[in-house]
Amino acid sequence: MSTGEPDAIVVDGLVKRFGAFVAVDHVSFAVAPGEIMGFLGPNGAGKSTIIRILCGLFAPTEGHVRVSGIDVATDPEGVRARIGYMSQKFSLYRDLTVLENLTFFAGIYGVRRRARAERIGYAVEMAGLGGREGQRVATLSGGWQQRLALGCAILHRPRILFLDEPTSGVEPMARRRFWDLIHALAEDGVSVLVSTHYMDEAEYCDRVALINHGRLVAVDTPGALKRAGGGRPLFVIEPADLGAALAALAGAAGIASASVYGGTLHVAAADPHYDAADLAALFAERGVEPGRIEPTAPSLEDVFVDLVASDTRTGGRAA
């Protein structure tokens, strides 16, 4: 997405060490105004550490980070004044009402008294909280608490929003409604960086950064990542014995990766000429009945598994 405006976030060669442990390993990317950038990866991949650096909560060990044109290392307070932040913990006061929480956070964000009613009204309308202003937070479902936390994060009208695993533990329909709110903010020009370990949520992002053990494995649109992943043959297998089939593939020549999808296996071949007959012959050689074997198009999760496997083989760090 290009608007002709300077990038809202610029990260160049970011490294974060905690003692000898490298949590973030030479990461570089940029986020444009109004763009939704997804950070996708397993728990412990480094997503939260990067977000905390961008919010001015951690200092970089190496590299340069600018948020809204401000150097995070030299002016973290200036950065925090211009951003909104929401974590998976929904930092709300459960014994207070919706309105009391909004009023409290308006004060924390420095919203002037004469502007608070308008800003709170905006947050209530945006999050669909009308009619719930007097309800205690403890009585709200996870989805409604999620909406309220987002409303609190945008009271000061930030142009950059960081969402750290905001949909963790929230049921699927509430997650989908939450993404509708994110898209509405982006259409208004807000840049959104959102971390998640839900692969399906990457489809809602303009671009996705795949992260593994602090390393940036790939950055592109969801569609481009899946097209790039189509360079290797991918097969779906329905074996009678999932464990035996997975064991048969371990270390097999010509197999790039194998992952479990419910009761099936997705197997990526390293050789572009590998076909279903080759896979059937491999199973026969190892005395395993594979069941149905069919070629399939890669999902984003398939691409991620394959890229992570490749990254590990070429020097990715262990957790």
Q: Report pLDDT digits (tens) over 240-287.
A: 899 999 999 998 888 988 888 888 999 988 888 899 999 999 999 999
**For 150, how many CA atoms within 13 A lie in the half-sphere containing its CB?**
30
Average pLDDT over residues 108-126: 93
Q: How far is CA 169 from CA 101, 146, 175, 203, in A?
A: 21, 10, 9, 19
The answer to whether the 9-220 and 231-296 domains have the same CATH topology is no
pLDDT number for residue 317: 44
15 bridge partner residues: 62
148: CB partners within 8 A, 6+ apart: 90, 92, 98, 101, 102, 127, 129, 137, 140
**Can you tell me whether residue 34 is helix, strand or coil?**
coil
Residue 20 pLDDT more than 50? yes
Give me the pLDDT at residue 173, please: 86
The tens digit of pLDDT for each residue in 198-250 reads 888 888 999 999 999 999 999 999 999 988 766 678 899 999 899 999 999 99
For residues 167 and 80, the model is more confident at: 80
Q: Which helix (H) or strand (E) holds 70?
A: strand 70-71
Determine which of 64-73, 150-159, 296-305 has the lowest per-residue pLDDT on average: 296-305
Q: Note the pLDDT of residue 257.
A: 84
pLDDT at residue 188 in the model: 94
CATH code of the region 9-220: 3.40.50.300
Q: Where are the domains of the chain?
A: 9-220, 231-296
CATH architecture of 231-296: 2-Layer Sandwich (3.30)
Q: How confident is the model at residue 165 (pLDDT cuts 50, 70, 90)?
A: confident
Number of Cβ within 10 Å of residue 230's Cβ equals 12
CB contact at 8 A, 182 and 163: yes
Which pTM was predicted?
Answer: 0.82
Between CA 136 and CA 120 the distance in angstroms is 16
Separation of alpha carbons 161 and 36, rounded Å? 10
pLDDT at 142 over 70: yes
Per-residue confidence band for 315, with pLDDT thresholds at 50, 70 and 90 = low
- Rounded Cα distance between 226 and 221, Å, is 9
Residue 44 and residue 31: Cα distance in Å, rounded?
22
Of 92-96, 161-165, 313-317, the one with minimum mean pLDDT is 313-317
Sheet containing strand 207-212, strands side by side: 83-87, 160-164, 191-196, 36-40, 207-212, 215-220
Task: Tell me which amino acid residue 36 is.
Answer: I
CB neighbours (10 Å) of residue 237?
24
Confidence of residue 313 (pLDDT cuts 50, 70, 90): low
- The answer, yes or no, to whether residue 89 has pLDDT greater than 80, is no
Q: With residue 50 as reference, give the H or E element that holds it.
A: helix 47-54
Task: Please report, as a single letter, which amino acid is at residue 85.
Answer: Y
What pLDDT sits at residue 302? 80
pLDDT of 303 reads 84
pLDDT of residue 175: 86
User: Do β-strands 207-212 and 36-40 pair in parallel, antiparallel, or remain unpaired?
Assistant: parallel
pLDDT at residue 285, as a whole number: 93
What is the pLDDT, as a whole number, of residue 318? 35
The pLDDT of residue 1: 53
> In the predicted model, is pLDDT for residue 92 greater than 70?
yes
Q: What's the pLDDT score for residue 67?
A: 97
Of 199, 217, 206, nearest to 302 by C-alpha is 199
Q: How far is residue 140's CA from residue 202's CA, in Å, rounded to a whole number?
A: 27
Q: What distance in Å separates the CA atoms of residue 160 and residue 158, rounded to the nearest whole number?
A: 5
Lowest average pLDDT, out of 71-80, 163-172, 207-216, 244-253, goes to 163-172
